[in-house]
Amino acid sequence: MEDQQDLMTSEFHSQIQEAMKKGVAEGVAKINEHLEEQKNTPLNIAITGESGSGKSTFINAFRGINNSDEGAAPTGAVETTTEVKPYPHPNHPNVTLWDLPGVGTPNFPADEYLEKVGFERFDFFIIIAAARFKENDVKLAQEIKRMGKKFYFLRSKIDSDLYNEERSQKNFDRQKTLNDIKENCIKGLHHQGIEAPQVFLVSSFELHQFDFHLLEEILERELPAHKRNAFLYALPNISKEIIKKKKDAYQAQIKYYAVVSFLGAAVPLPGLSVAVDLVLVKKVLKEYVIGFGLDEKSLKRLADSSGVPYSILVSVMTSQLGATTITPQLIQNLLSQLAMGSAVIAAEEISRFFLVIGIPLSMCLSGYSTYRILNFLLDLVADDAQRLFEKVVKKTSEV
Ligand code: GDP
């Protein structure tokens, strides 16, 4: 995965270098093109399984949407999906989860299923079952493989299995119960002809528990490099590791913004000793706020799905960036906390990058300041995302 990513990066850097030789405008255009691509790379995830297996609830949980919210995939045992329905991620509309009808329903017979759902558009399939995986699930998996696509088995509603087992067994052993469920699913699938099946145990009500993080890691590894960031950005903030990975992905883009801002016209801000490209900083900061779900709408959804009151969520954030409109004044206030000093110390990463693409270091002051400012703001936003996550997890474990 890393090699694939590195290869892409060095190829891209050569392209910028080439473009810069033609002129600054060409260099900027190349970088902007890359940044736009990063934001808009489509990722289409197909969710399939029998009606009632928990597809819609998983789709909603992944998107941070409560089952009863506007835009939620309809849930409930009586609801049957009879068509392929797209559910875009509210903050990352390039990422769509698709609710697929169960295999073998009258309009979707097993042998025509993949054709009928338009399998080409999907990056991978998640096959969900609430108990055993059945013949149709297996047939589908084999067919997906034949078409050269990937699939992952997800065993849903684990919370309710544990609850039931705990109530009915004297010597309840949580880990053993989980192992047994997984083992049974694997054996069943193997028996039906799937070689070395991988099964992930998930509760859509508690994505931070059980195997969701394993599924996340495998998907991240198996996705093509250019789709990786789209996936990462859209992940719910359900672990410290995911928050860190998202932050790293955003961090890796900062050098490009630094160059764009250096090559554009940076305007000195009153009270700050260096020029700051405020328009660009504001634009990128908004992306961080939305990307980490600190905007008002995301926080309201988080309040709904976690049961932690909105006002409490707002109160745990310390950056002043959550649930508010990002204004130039707000950014300026925050930046006064960042000791810019007279000498802006160039980070090694950005210096190297400037040299690679052929900009003399002595000319890069505004690029450096943008680099430092964006790193500083990204830290604030990611730290708040972490605080929110801790608050929500604490509440869930109290229940
Ligand atoms: P779909 O028909 O496959 O889309 O299934 P739904 O998402 O509508 O879920 C069917 C029922 O199972 C609903 O009552 C959900 O609340 C419930 N359900 C779904 N996922 C979970 C889960 O992870 N845990 C528990 N306990 N119930 C779930």
Residues in the chain: 399
Closest C-alpha to ligand 1, atom 9 = 54
Residue 378 alpha carbon to ligand 1 centre in Å: 36
Rounded distance, CA 62 to CA 69, Å? 14
> Given ligand 1 and candidates 48, 55, 57, which is best to mutate, with the most ligand atoms within 8 Å of its CB?
57
Residue 59 alpha carbon to ligand 1 centre in Å: 10
| Ligand 1 atom at minimum distance from 75 CA | 8
Residue 172: how many other CB atoms lie within 10 Å: 12
pLDDT of the residue at 344 = 46
Q: How far is CA 326 from CA 152, 184, 198, in A?
A: 40, 51, 44
> Given ligand 1 and candidates 75, 97, 164, which is best to mutate, with the most ligand atoms within 8 Å of its CB?
75
Q: Which residues of 115-125 are buried (b: 16+ CB within 10 A; e: fewer)?
A: eebebeebbbb
Residue 33 alpha carbon to ligand 1 centre in Å: 41
Closest C-alpha to ligand 1, atom 10 = 52
pLDDT of the residue at 328 = 84
Residue 51 alpha carbon to ligand 1 centre in Å: 9
Closest C-alpha to ligand 1, atom 22 = 157
H/E element, 350: helix 348-357
Helix, strand, coil share (%) of the chain residues, nearest 5: 60, 10, 35
Q: Are strands 95-99 and 43-49 parallel, antiparallel or unpaired?
A: parallel
Residue 341's contacts (CB-CB under 8 Å, 6 or more residues apart) are 273
| Ligand 1 atom at minimum distance from 53 CA | 3
Q: What is the DSSP code string of 210-260? A: TTHHHHHHHHHHHS-HHHHHHHHHHS---SHHHHHHHHHHHHHHHHHHHHH
Residue 304: how many other CB atoms lie within 10 Å: 17
Ligand 1 neighbours by CB, cut-off 6 Å: 49, 51-57, 75-77, 79, 156-157, 159-160, 203-205
Rounded distance, CA 373 to CA 350, Å? 13
Closest C-alpha to ligand 1, atom 6 = 54
Q: What is the DSSP code string of 1-55? A: -HHHHHHHHHHHHHHHHHHHHH-HHHHHHHHHHHHHHHHH--EEEEEEESTTSSH
pLDDT of the residue at 279 = 84
Residue 316 alpha carbon to ligand 1 centre in Å: 31
Q: Are strands 124-129 and 43-49 parallel, antiparallel or unpaired?
A: parallel
Closest C-alpha to ligand 1, atom 27 = 157
* Count of CA atoms in the C-beta half-sphere (13 A) of 194: 26
Residue 154 alpha carbon to ligand 1 centre in Å: 13
Kindly give the confidence (pLDDT) of every residue in the chain, 399 residues in length, as a single tens digit, with 9 standing for 90 and above. Answer: 556 666 678 888 888 888 888 887 888 888 889 888 888 999 999 999 998 999 999 999 999 988 887 778 887 755 555 789 999 999 999 999 999 988 877 778 888 888 999 999 999 999 999 999 999 999 999 999 999 999 999 999 999 999 998 998 888 999 999 999 999 999 999 999 999 899 999 999 999 999 999 999 999 999 998 899 999 999 999 999 999 999 999 999 998 888 887 776 444 444 444 456 788 899 999 999 999 999 999 999 999 988 999 999 999 999 989 989 998 888 888 887 776 543 444 466 666 776 677 766 555 666 777 888 899 999 999 999 999 999 998 876 665
H/E element, 125: strand 124-129
